[in-house]
């Protein structure tokens, strides 16, 4: 579905409604106005200004060096390319290390970055930050499973929730985020069976990346699915440029594949 046939603004309330009626949510990252316009026109529901920009735009080894000012800048210019999609902006490393910092930096991303929702990583450890951000009227998206900002602690980019104890903790984290007022959760690199349990355990949308087909929606780094990322593409991604003549067609193919439940396939899951 292109922007021409549906120009209704997507909100956090609409994401919830999409989950309730079983409509898959299609999400991609963007870092500038031109990409944002293409994604918006192709029918992407949620555009994420990810701190992944540290790696795919800045050439950093991880997301850790990205600053709040950099996130606000990229969020602001992405906002100029959107008319329909919900704009979600990552809170970068150490920007929510305490409640005051969390609220201040979330407000900055909303005021200067024109974000409509902020995303932060972690479960029960960040619950108080989530509560206080939500109390200020700022929608929050959680992020569980593989946490890129904690990659040094995790020992690398690896699948999470493979043991029963790990799996149960992630399920509890999801329930706690919902109770704290989160509007959605990104679930990264967990077994598909676990993702299915989490999606059923909470009422808010679960947006998967390397988490199987049962999630309420999917998100990918746009550079990965367009095959312009330097280095190895993640297992959970797919090169949508292979059968597309241009970027717009590739994005439309991704949206259609998510909506029709053709992506992710088994080879993109754990």
Burial class (CB in 10 A: 0-12, 13-18, 19+), 165: exposed
Based on the residue annotation, tell me whether 188 is a catalytic residue of this protein.
Answer: yes
Handedness of CA 155, 71, 132, 199 (dihedral sign): negative
- pLDDT of amino acid 152: 75
Averaged confidence pLDDT in the chain: 95
Of these residues, 121, 172, 188, 243, which one is catalytic?
188
In degrees and rounded to multiples of 5, residue 97 shows phi and psi of: -70, -20
Rounded to 5°, angle at Cα 81 from 75 and 85: 80
pTM of the model: 0.96
Tokens representing residue 244 in the block: 């597309």
For the chain, helix (H) and strand (E) counts, in that order, are 11, 8
- pLDDT of amino acid 6: 64
How distant is the alpha carbon of residue 141 from its chain centre?
8
pLDDT per residue as tens digits for the range 97-131: 999 999 999 999 999 999 999 999 999 999 999 99
pLDDT per residue as tens digits for the range 225-267: 999 988 888 999 999 999 998 999 999 999 999 999 999 999 9
Nearest-angstrom CA–CA distance, 122 and 93? 11
pLDDT-derived band at 1 (thresholds 50, 70, 90) equals very low
pLDDT at position 13 over 50: yes
Q: Which domains does the chain have, with CATH numbers?
A: 12-262 (3.20.20.60)
User: Across-strand partners of 144?
Assistant: 187
pLDDT per residue as tens digits for the range 33-76: 999 999 999 999 999 999 999 999 999 999 999 999 999 999 99
């Amino acid at each position: 579905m292109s922007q021409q046939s549906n120009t209704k603004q997507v909100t956090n309330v609409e994401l919830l409604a999409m989950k309730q009626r079983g409509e898959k949510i299609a999400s991609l990252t963007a870092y500038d106005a031109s990409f944002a316009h293409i994604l918006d026109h192709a029918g992407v529901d949620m555009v994420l200004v990810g701190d992944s920009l540290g790696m795919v735009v800045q050439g950093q080894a991880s997301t850790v060096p990205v600053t709040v000012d950099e996130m606000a800048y990229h969020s602001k210019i992405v906002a100029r390319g959107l008319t329909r999609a919900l704009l979600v902006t990552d809170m970068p490393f150490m920007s929510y290390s305490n409640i005051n910092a969390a609220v201040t930096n979330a407000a900055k991303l909303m005021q200067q970055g024109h974000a409509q929702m902020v995303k932060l990583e972690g479960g029960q450890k960040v619950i108080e930050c989530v509560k206080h951000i939500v109390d200020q009227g700022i929608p929050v998206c959680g992020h569980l499973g593989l946490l890129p900002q904690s990659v040094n602690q995790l020992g690398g980019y690896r699948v999470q929730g493979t043991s029963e104890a790990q799996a149960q903790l992630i399920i509890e984290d999801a329930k706690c985020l919902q109770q704290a007022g989160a509007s959605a959760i990104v679930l990264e690199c967990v077994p598909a069976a676990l993702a299915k349990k989490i999606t059923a355990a909470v009422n808010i949308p679960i947006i998967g990346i390397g988490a199987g087909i049962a999630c309420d929606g999917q998100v990918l780094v746009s550079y990965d699915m367009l095959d312009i990322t330097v280095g190895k593409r993640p297992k959970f991604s797919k090169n949508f440029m292979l059968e597309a003549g241009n970027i717009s067609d590739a994005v439309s193919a991704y949206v259609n594949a998510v909506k029709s439940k053709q992506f992710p396939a088994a080879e993109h899951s754990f």
